[in-house]
Chains A and B, each alone.
Chain A
Amino acid sequence: MPDAAIELVGVNKWFDTFHVLKDINLTVKSGEKVVICGPSGSGKSTVVRCINQLEKHQKGTIRVDGVELTDDAKSIAAISSEVGMVFQQFNLFPHLTVLENLTLGPIKARGLSRHDAEERARHYLDRVHIPDQAHKRPLQLSGGQQQRVAIARSLCMEPRVLLFDEPTSALDPEMISEVLDVMVELANDGMTMVVVTHEMGFARKVADKMIFMDAGEIVEEGKPEHFFTNPKSERCRKFLSQILQH
């Protein structure tokens, strides 16, 4: 198993003429927790979406588990089996029950039997603390519950790396902590995580590495203890003072 779970080298991306990612270099080691923050439009979501090939980068290389991503179908299939994703808007399948949401991937993409897939699904539903909602539809659950189901759905694919794209930004305030609690537990269990978030309390608690992005660049990168107390760049200092004000 290579030491670097994810490696981005000189990654560039354009939306038409807009340069969203500028020479991004980033290494995520196995078991490491990386938190990416930055103002909106800074490209932090795009980094995460490039890692699991929801967006294509135009220049540079991205390696997941040592395998370079190209845009053929095989590479995408390989990625989806290594990299799980939790979305801001949950993106649960509304026409399926919670249990079916969790078993769809394992059964159809991994070829698990229904019995094994359901057993696995129940295990992960337990782990996100909603064991008794398996037969409800996603829209019958609260936002916090929905996001925890989405996390369980990713876990059911047993990924090596879990990506989070602003997982609490669409939640009502009182539901944020139940989702963050689950994420902290995952972090403590050794899951490799890349988290785009503005939840700095969470970042302080779990991050091995903090990344600050602005205007498509990684402006600052460092251990949380230095990052929060003594940011080097003016832009980062300003950003932190704005989000930590209240």
Chain B
Amino acid sequence: MRNFLLFAVFALLAGCSSSQTWGWYVINPTTDAGWTNVKFLISGMGATILISLIAAALSIVIGLLVALPGLSEKHGWRLVNRVYVEFIRAIPLLPMLFWVFYGLPIVFKSVALNIPIDPFWGAIITLAISDSAFTAEIYRAGIQSIARGQREAAQTVGLNYVQTMRYVILPQAIRRILPPLANQFIYIVKMSAFASVIGMQELTRRANELVVTEYRPLEIYTLLIFEYLILVLIISAGVRWLERRMGADERG
């Protein structure tokens, strides 16, 4: 890993000196033009983060609501869960994004609802729905991993279904749910790049627009990749901190 990083840094630095292939000037923050470009690229960060956070929050809620019928003893409820998960999981993100952004407003209009869908909410809805099928499965596995006796004990001390979930099952399941859930957040951050194709001004859209004017795809997309890398590394660190905190709590 360390060798690979050294090599990567070396390759980039080498690129800096031979202007044949690399043209770092385009994003060189020490020049006025370069700094303007860098600021332009980074300015998409806020939108990427906001879209991802809202989509993840929605996905965490929808996923739980989809997972619970999947844990029911009743066949009909489990079927609801299966149909949702299989159906949503099968749709590629990009077609779903098109359907939501271009198609859904027509559906709304046909039932006399005037709900416009802008790129921001179009991206959030698509990411949240698409991701919720995966979060639902994560919840289901996590909850099922808690021994049946826990639910029975909760029932015998008078707790109802919601209380059992809230005070007994979910607090124990969360340790098993959190790490895969965090992976899904990383997935959302990366998939939010698709929002660029419906005109959302986020990281990837900014990079595309700059490439069109500067004709320097290599440098600009390299910076773009590093922008995502930094975002994801920060999230990973946050998750590890959370896991440690909860782990300590468990032993305590």
Contacts and interface: CB of A to CB of B under 8 A. Distances in A.
A85 to B, nearest CB: 4
A105 interface: yes
A182 B152 CA distance: 23
A110 B156 contact: no
B159 A85 contact: no
**By CB atoms of chain A within 10 A, which of B155, B157, B160 has the most?**
B157
A87 interface: yes
Contact of A110 (B158, B160, B172): B158
Contacts of B153: 85, 87, 91-93, 153
B177 to A, nearest CB: 14
Interface in B209-241: none
B249 to A, nearest CB: 8
Contact of B159 (A54, A87, A92, A105): A105
Interface in A71-105: 73, 76-77, 80-81, 83-85, 87, 89, 91-95, 104-105
Contacts of A52: 155-156
A89 B167 contact: no
Given A73-B160, A94-B172, A108-B163, A89 B155 contact: no
A192 interface: no
B252 A137 contact: yes
Nearest to A54: B152
A109 B158 contact: yes
Contacts of A85: 152-153, 156
B10 to A, nearest CB: 49
Contact of A80 (B147, B155, B252): B155
Contacts, number: 65
A53 B154 CA distance: 13
Given A94-B172, A95-B171, A154 B160 contact: no
Query: Is chain B's interface secondary structure helix, strand, loop, or mixed overall?
Result: helix
B155 A54 contact: yes
A93 B158 contact: no
Interface string B151-182: 01111111110010001100110000000000
B17 interface: no
Nearest to A97: B252
A54 B157 CA distance: 12
A105 B172 contact: no
B32 interface: no
Contacts of A76: 155
A157 interface: yes
B149 A87 contact: yes
B250 A95 contact: yes
Nearest to B252: A137
A91 B152 CA distance: 8
Given A81-B158, A87-B153, A93-B153, A108 B167 contact: yes
B150 A93 contact: yes
Interface in A145-177: 153-154, 156-157
A107 to B, nearest CB: 10
B157 A104 contact: yes
A15 B137 CA distance: 28
Nearest to A53: B155
Contacts of B150: 91, 93
Nearest to A49: B152
B149 A77 contact: no
A80 B149 contact: no
Contacts of B168: 93, 104
Interface of B: 147, 149-150, 152-160, 163, 167-168, 171-172, 250, 252
